[in-house]
């Protein structure tokens, strides 16, 4: 497993402790890509119990590997927008994406900076999160003033981890899945809780499962039905169970074919989104959904122009950007795909908009980690692609020649096993990419 040795260097341990004013305070320690410990936010939580439970659930997801019993010790990523705090993370297997959205209304805030940072989640803080209660005033801070002053001093808390590249890569791949999600149904929290409790605690079904809504009732089924949401790994959905007693409702989103689903727990002070990959053993990292956009590779000047529009926005519409810059929406989409792979943009399925964030990691290795694209470029370089006319290409395969057909929109079909098996649902094969690159070059 490709991983980088990464050291989180926090200014202090995140904790829940009594502040100087006597109120309990939740302080999250920060650490960014430029090795600073930014101070983004200071305020008072209006619903401390919900805040605590959402953060606890996120930390549970991030420290769980849903496929193998492997410990993971990764920390979530927090982005502070003008009107929103957003925490994101993946499970150790990269098959579950969890996100907390905390709008400004959830706090009485005195300071809200903009930027992205890692935040320290440690065991004592996790325990303390469960003890936050509504009805008590709880201060909430992301970063600390004095931390910046003590940087490099003895008080820095170091956590050395093997940060899997696929964990970082998942941040870009999950966007393309979210774009295909549509709202399927919503149920009251009590019904959602009953549904979650009906899911097997252990030794769940090995087959594909479906969430079926009949009236207000939500139930688990093994049978495909109209309107049902397909998912695998009932234990993955149970991750939200502890939030449901506090929630208002559960909204379930799903893609049409591939089996990605999103479970949005709506609470009074924010929302918790859990996105599940199509299969338990499939992480979001290896999907290659953005390869076509990457193969088209817009010019850096165009990328820079669009990047300038992001401006730490929490809701960025590609239509708005294209109108503003006078560019085609497709070009904007392509550029944002490239920015996603660079960790600079995320997608919010609920508002159907992009958002700006800058992943706090060194992403140079991640960009290079697109084996299919690398393979396609090698095929082109080694003259492994032959143009046959009429959108047909003959591309060298392993021990054989594959036929690729590109339609007018550049979408392709190939005779290779990868395409035959996935029909493009897991991104294009390297033969289609090679044909697309050849076609672009030829044009």
Partner 1 sequence: MTPEELELLVVGKDSFEHFRKAFSDLSDAERRNLSKTAQKLFRDIHRSSNAWDFEAAKGASDRLNKLLKKAHNESVKKTATGHIFTRPDWVDSLQKRATLALVAVAPISALKSDTVWFRSIEDQVFQIVQDRKPDWLGEWIEHLIAAEWPRVSFPFVVKLIENDLIPKPETDNYISSYANWLMRTTNGRNDKRRVPPISQQLKSSPLLMEDVYRVFAVESNAFNTNGWLRKGAELDYETWTEALLKMVEDGTLDRKRVLEESLAALTADLKSNQLSGITKFHKQLRASPAELKANEENYRELFASPFGPVARFGLDQLAVLYKAKNLDMGLFLNDLPTLFSLPVKSHPVAAIKLLGRMAKSDPKFIEDIFGALLPALNHENVDVQTIAIEMFELHSENLSPQLREDIASNSQFISPHLTSRLSSLSGKDNAEAEAFVEDLNDSLEVLKNTSDSDRVSWGLDLLSEKPFTYRPITSDIMQLRVLHTVAPIEPIQTQDELLSAIATYIEMPLDKTEAERIADGIARIPRIEDADFQARIIPLMHRLGMSEDAEYEVAPGGRQFANLVKTYLSLKFKSNIVDSASDWYSESQRRKLREVAPMQTHFRLLTSLIAKGSTPGRLCAPTHENGWICPLTWVDRLSVVQNRHDIDDIDLSFSLLRLAPDNRLEAAAKTLMLSGRFRDLAAFVLGADETPNISRSLKIEVWMSAARARNPLKDWSEAFAHLNLSSNVAGSISPRSLGWKTENAKIYEDRIVFENTILEPPKKRLFKRVVSVNEKRLPTGMLGQHPIRKRYHYEDVTAEERQWRATLFPLYPAMSYRSAIRGMISRIDTKSNSFEPVHGAMNALFQKNRPWSEMAYLVLCLALFGRDADAQRLSIDALVEGIDSGQLDPERFVSTLERLSRTDWVKLNRPGPAMLQVAQVSPLHAYIIADVLSKWLPKLETKRRALGDLLDVSLQSMALANSGVRPVFRVYLESFNGSSKAAKVAKSILKLPDVSTEDRSDLRSMAIRSRLRYVYSM
Residue 35 main-chain phi, psi, to 5 deg: 65, 20
The pair of three-digit structure tokens given for residue 106, joined into one six-digit string: 């959830």
Minimum Å gap between C-beta 245 and partner 1 is 5
Q: Does 68 bind partner 1 (CB under 8 A)?
A: no
Minimum Å gap between C-beta 161 and partner 1 is 13
Q: Does 423 bind partner 1 (CB under 8 A)?
A: yes
The residue within the footprint of partner 1, chosen from 222, 308, 442, 443 (CB under 8 A), is: 222
Select from 85-93, 217-225, 311-319, 376-384 the region that touches partner 1 (CB under 8 A): 217-225
Smaller CB separation from partner 1, 14 or 37: 14
What secondary structure does DSSP assign to 29-85, as a single string?
-EE-TTS-----EEEEESSHHHHHHHHHHHHHHHT--SSS--------EEEE-SSEE
The residue within the footprint of partner 1, chosen from 18, 110, 148, 198 (CB under 8 A), is: 198
Smaller CB separation from partner 1, 149 or 401: 401
The residue within the footprint of partner 1, chosen from 34, 152, 153, 207 (CB under 8 A), is: 207
Q: Does 248 bind partner 1 (CB under 8 A)?
A: no
Beta-bridge mates of residue 210 = 221, 230
> Which class for 198: exposed (0-12), middle (13-18), buried (19 or more C-beta within 10 A)?
exposed
Hey, which residues between 135 and 154 contact partner 1 (CB under 8 A)? 136
The residue within the footprint of partner 1, chosen from 145, 245, 319, 387 (CB under 8 A), is: 245
Distance (Å) of CA 136 to CA 24, 58, 128, 267: 8, 22, 14, 18
The pair of three-digit structure tokens given for residue 324, joined into one six-digit string: 């503003």
Minimum Å gap between C-beta 208 and partner 1 is 10
Give me the helices (H) in 156-264, please. Answer: 165-179, 189-198, 234-237
Distance (Å) of CA 443 to CA 51, 134, 343, 436, 439: 54, 63, 30, 10, 6
Minimum Å gap between C-beta 131 and partner 1 is 5
Q: Does 399 bind partner 1 (CB under 8 A)?
A: yes
CA atoms of 44 and 184, how far apart (whole Å): 35
Minimum Å gap between C-beta 9 and partner 1 is 17
Minimum Å gap between C-beta 401 and partner 1 is 6
Smaller CB separation from partner 1, 144 or 430: 430
Distance (Å) of CA 162 to CA 75, 240, 343, 346, 424: 12, 27, 19, 24, 32
Q: How many CA atoms lie within 13 A of 216 on its CB side?
A: 7
Select from 88-96, 123-131, 163-171, 266-274 the region that touches partner 1 (CB under 8 A): 123-131
Nearest residue to 366 via CA among 29, 3, 71, 39? 3
The contact pattern for partner 1, residues 402-421, with x = CB under 8 A and - = no contact, is: xx---------x-xxx--xx
Minimum Å gap between C-beta 349 and partner 1 is 27
Q: Does 194 bind partner 1 (CB under 8 A)?
A: yes
Q: Does 227 bind partner 1 (CB under 8 A)?
A: no
Contact in structure between 95 and 276 (CB atoms under 8 Å): yes
Hey, which residues between 73 and 112 contact partner 1 (CB under 8 A)? none
Binding site for partner 1 (CB under 8 A): 123-124, 127-128, 130-131, 133, 136, 188-190, 193-194, 197-198, 200-201, 203-207, 209, 214-215, 217, 219-223, 242, 245, 394, 397, 399-403, 413, 415-417, 420-421, 423
């Amino acid at each position: 497993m490709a991983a980088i040795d990464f050291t989180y260097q926090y200014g202090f341990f995140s904790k829940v402790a009594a502040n100087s004013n006597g109120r309990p305070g939740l302080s999250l320690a920060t650490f960014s890509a430029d090795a600073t410990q930014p101070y983004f936010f200071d305020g008072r939580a209006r619903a401390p119990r919900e805040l605590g439970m959402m953060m606890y659930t996120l930390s549970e997801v991030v420290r769980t590997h849903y496929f193998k019993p492997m410990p993971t010790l990764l920390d979530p990523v927090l982005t502070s927008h003008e009107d929103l705090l957003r925490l994101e993370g993946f499970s150790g297997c990269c098959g579950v994406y969890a996100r907390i959205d905390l709008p400004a209304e959830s706090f009485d805030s005195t300071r809200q900076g903009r930027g992205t940072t890692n935040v320290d989640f440690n065991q004592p803080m996790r325990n303390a999160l469960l003890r936050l209660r509504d009805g008590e005033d709880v201060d909430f801070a992301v970063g600390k003033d004095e931390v910046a002053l003590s940087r490099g001093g003895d008080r820095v808390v170091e956590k050395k981890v093997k940060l899997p590249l696929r964990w970082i890569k998942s941040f870009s791949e999950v966007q393309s899945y979210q774009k295909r999600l549509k709202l399927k149904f919503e149920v009251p929290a009590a019904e959602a809780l009953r549904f979650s409790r009906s899911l097997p605690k252990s030794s769940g079904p090995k087959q594909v499962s479906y969430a079926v809504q009949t009236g207000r009732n939500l139930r688990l089924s093994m049978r495909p039905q109209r309107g049902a949401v397909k998912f695998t790994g009932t234990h993955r959905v149970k991750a939200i169970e502890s939030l449901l007693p506090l929630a208002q409702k559960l909204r379930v989103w799903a893609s049409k074919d591939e089996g990605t689903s999103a479970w949005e727990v709506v609470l009074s002070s924010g929302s918790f989104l859990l996105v599940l990959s199509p299969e338990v053993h499939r992480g979001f990292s290896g999907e290659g959904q953005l390869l076509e956009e990457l193969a088209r590779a817009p010019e850096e000047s165009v990328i820079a122009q669009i990047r300038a529009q992001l401006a730490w926005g929490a809701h960025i519409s590609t239509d708005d950007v294209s109108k503003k810059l006078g560019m085609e929406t497709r070009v904007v989409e392509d550029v944002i795909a490239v920015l996603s792979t660079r960790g600079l943009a995320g997608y919010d399925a609920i508002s159907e908009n992009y958002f700006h964030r800058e992943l706090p990691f060194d992403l140079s290795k991640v960009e290079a980690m697109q084996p299919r694209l690398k393979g396609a470029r090698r095929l082109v370089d080694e003259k492994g692609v032959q143009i046959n006319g009429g959108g047909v290409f003959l591309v060298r395969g392993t021990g054989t020649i594959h036929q690729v057909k590109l339609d007018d929109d550049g979408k392709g079909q190939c005779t290779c096993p990868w395409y035959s098996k996935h029909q493009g649902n897991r991104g294009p094969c390297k033969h289609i990419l090679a044909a697309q690159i050849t076609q672009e070059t030829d044009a």
